[in-house]
Amino acid sequence: MNFDTPISQLMTSEVVYAEPDNKFTQIRDLFLNNNMHHLPIVKEGNLEGIISVNDIMRCYAVDAAGLSNIEDENLDQNFNIEAIMTKSPVHIAPQAGVKHAIRIFNEHNFQALPVVDLGKLVGIITLKDIVSHLAGE
């Protein structure tokens, strides 16, 4: 078990991401089609924000409570991605060690962290990735 292993050795480097001008339904479909729980929002390679599947679910709850229907057009008109996403999310550098990532996960109760190098998104690391590493998998 190595707590000094760099995040770059554990992260997913081919990250599915969206852009701030994507429609709500495009974001929803990325979650559904890629079986993921966190989606970085990137503009010109730079990390702008992050959306979780919980953020998407909250939109459906708001829609069901206050809007007339939950059709795609209605969702796209009423939910702006920049308003939903967490802006300037906490992130980690690829050279940071596992121990540093664990501290961030514990401090913020996160499940995923974007990996950023010189402002550019280069990967994503999840709590599951860390646990698998520590379990020797």
Q: pLDDT tens track of the chain, all 137 residues? A: 678 899 999 999 999 999 999 999 999 999 999 999 999 999 999 999 999 999 998 887 765 555 555 778 888 888 899 999 999 999 999 999 999 999 999 999 999 999 999 999 999 999 999 999 988 86
* Residue 2 resides in a domain: no
Q: How many domains does the chain have?
A: 1
Query: In 93-124, which positions are buried (b, 16+ CB within 10 angstroms) versus exposed (e)?
Result: ebebbbebbeeebeeeebebbbbbeeeebbbb
Q: H or E segment at 73?
A: helix 72-78
* Residue 11 resides in a domain: yes
The whole-number pLDDT of residue 69 equals 59
* Residue 51 resides in a domain: yes
The whole-number pLDDT of residue 59 equals 82
* Residue 85 resides in a domain: yes
* Residue 1 resides in a domain: no
Query: What is the rounded CA–CA span in Å between residue 13 and residue 93?
Result: 13
What residues make up the domain containing 83? Answer: 7-134
The whole-number pLDDT of residue 72 equals 83
- The model carries a pTM of 0.89
Query: What is the rounded CA–CA span in Å between residue 134 and residue 98?
Result: 9
The whole-number pLDDT of residue 121 equals 97
* Residue 102 resides in a domain: yes
Could you tell me the CATH number of the domain that includes residue 33? 3.10.580.10
